[in-house]
């Protein structure tokens, strides 16, 4: 495919899509825009959210043990779930890493940053390598923390410590919860993301993730353990909201497997000469590039409301730079004990 039919490439080789990235989904438009909502709905459901829903469904049918087993925190079923979670991440993340970064099957087509992390070693990463660093952080504490929270939630449901709504009694509510799983994750992620950009937490926690300025698949869960705990705690909302363990499981899968599209570093994954799957990665790539924009992805429009949305245009660049200058002036004024005005 010709990526220049879909975007532009600057003198340094950085690729960007032609169209601005929408910071507010048409879901919120007034007056309503039904055709725009239908187009948005297709991208909202397919392929990624549907894929994560299906993996959760497969887990529920094959992996999750009976209720009486989950009532006890025994090593057997918990270690089995840990092993299957690890295998799932290894296969899913590994497939993207193999195609895009090891085989380099697309070359630089649709790649935002022309550089490949493997070619640029850095002392900020374990063993000086971004991929190795991300791989180790994913499996040493990312997957274990995800699994521990998942096990704890399943145990709480099985013992009746939280409401377990039955599908037969609450079909519309549970169906609505499933539909809004990405909204819950977006709202949760935005809030914790703004929190870990507070200077102290950024320095000691979130900077680990931001070491990947040019993200790749294993950057997805390259986090400090504290950030892993905050990130995967999204599933615990289903212990507060009246919910069902399957919906909780889908929420966890949306967090674990859903981190990939935003970090793959490519706009599209080519399928043959003409077909492609959209990765919807550019907005989060801009966050890794500029640090203080796009704390979310626009499903819940907090960035647009609070002035931190960057749609990839030059106009957004200028607004961002003006905001940075104003912030710098405020900081300088505070240090000097004078008014920023």
pLDDT tens, position by position, 212-262? 999 999 999 999 999 999 999 999 999 999 999 999 999 999 999 999 999
What string of pLDDT tens digits covers the 341 residues of the chain?
999 999 999 999 999 999 999 999 998 999 999 999 999 999 999 999 999 999 999 999 999 999 999 999 999 999 999 999 999 999 999 999 999 999 999 999 999 999 999 888 999 999 999 999 999 999 999 999 999 999 999 999 999 999 999 999 999 999 999 999 999 999 999 999 999 999 999 999 999 999 999 999 999 999 999 999 999 999 999 999 999 999 999 999 999 999 999 999 999 999 988 899 999 899 999 999 999 999 999 999 999 999 999 999 999 999 999 999 998 999 888 887 654 44
The model's pTM is: 0.96
Write the Ramachandran bin of 244: left for phi over 0, alpha for psi from -120 to 50, otherwise beta. Answer: beta
pLDDT attached to residue 274:
87
Q: Which spans in 46-137 are helix H? A: 48-58, 67-70, 75-96, 130-137
How far is residue 221's CA from residue 284's CA, in Å, rounded to a whole number?
Answer: 14
- Residue 8 CB contacts under 8 Å (≥ 6 apart), including other chains: 15, 16, 18
Burial annotation 245-261 (CB, 10 A radius, 16+ → b, else e): bbbbbbbbbbbbbbbbb
Output the CA–CA distances (angstroms, integers) from residue 109 to 89, 150, 259, in the order listed: 25, 38, 22
The residue written with tokens 């919807």 in the block is 280
How far is residue 52's CA from residue 258's CA, in Å, rounded to a whole number?
Answer: 7
Output the CA–CA distances (angstroms, integers) from residue 151 to 74, 242, 243, in the order listed: 10, 18, 16
- Residue 40 CB contacts under 8 Å (≥ 6 apart), including other chains: 25, 26, 27
pLDDT attached to residue 337:
61
pLDDT attached to residue 27:
86
Phi, psi of 240 (to 5 degrees): -100, -50
How far is residue 304's CA from residue 334's CA, in Å, rounded to a whole number?
Answer: 27
132 near 118, Cβ under 8 Å? no
Neighbouring-strand partners of residue 277:
269
191-200 contacts at long range (C-beta below 8 A, 24 or more positions apart) = 192/230, 192/231, 192/233, 193/295, 193/296, 194/295, 195/230, 196/227, 196/230, 197/291, 197/292, 197/295
Query: Among candidates 139, 241, 95, 138, which has minimal Cα distance to 181?
Result: 241
Any idea what the Cα angle at residue 274 is, between residues 271 and 280, rounded to 5°?
A: 60
How far is residue 174's CA from residue 67's CA, in Å, rounded to a whole number?
Answer: 20
- State the Cα torsion 95-97-99-102 to the nearest 10°: -130
- The β-bridge relationship of strands 15-17 and 7-9 is antiparallel
How far is residue 16's CA from residue 325's CA, in Å, rounded to a whole number?
Answer: 25
């Amino acid at each position: 495919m010709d990526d220049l039919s879909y975007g532009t490439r600057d003198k340094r080789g950085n690729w960007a899509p032609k169209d601005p990235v929408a910071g507010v989904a048409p879901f919120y438009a007034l007056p309503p825009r039904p055709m725009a909502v239908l187009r948005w709905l297709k991208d909202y459901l397919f392929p990624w959210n549907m894929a994560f829903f299906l993996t959760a469904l497969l887990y529920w049918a094959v992996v999750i043990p009976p209720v009486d087993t989950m009532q006890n925190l025994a090593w057997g079923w918990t270690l089995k779930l840990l092993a299957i979670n690890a295998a799932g991440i290894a296969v899913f993340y590994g497939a993207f890493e193999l195609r895009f970064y090891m085989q380099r099957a697309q070359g630089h087509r649709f790649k935002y940053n022309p550089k490949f992390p493997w070619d640029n070693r850095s002392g900020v990463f374990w063993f000086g390598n971004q991929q190795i660093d991300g791989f180790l952080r994913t499996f040493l504490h990312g997957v274990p923390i995800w699994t521990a929270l998942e096990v704890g939630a399943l145990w709480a449901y099985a013992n009746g410590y939280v409401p377990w709504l039955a599908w037969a009694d609450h079909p519309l509510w549970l169906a609505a919860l499933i539909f809004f799983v990405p909204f819950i994750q977006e709202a949760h992620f935005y809030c914790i993301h703004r929190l870990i950009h507070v200077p102290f937490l950024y320095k000691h926690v979130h900077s680990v993730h931001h070491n990947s300025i040019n993200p790749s698949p294993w950057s997805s869960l390259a986090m400090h353990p504290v950030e892993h705990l905050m990130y995967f705690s999204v599933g615990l909302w289903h212990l507060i909201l009246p919910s069902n363990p399957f919906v909780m499981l889908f929420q966890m899968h949306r967090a674990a497997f859903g981190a990939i599209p935003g970090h793959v570093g490519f706009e599209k994954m080519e399928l043959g000469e003409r077909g492609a799957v959209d990765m919807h990665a550019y907005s989060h790539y801009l966050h890794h590039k500029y640090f203080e924009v796009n704390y979310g992805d626009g499903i819940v429009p907090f960035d647009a409301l609070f002035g931190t949305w960057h749609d990839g245009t030059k106009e957004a660049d200028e607004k961002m730079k003006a905001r940075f200058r104003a912030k710098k002036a405020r900081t300088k004024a505070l240090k000097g004990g004078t008014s920023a005005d």
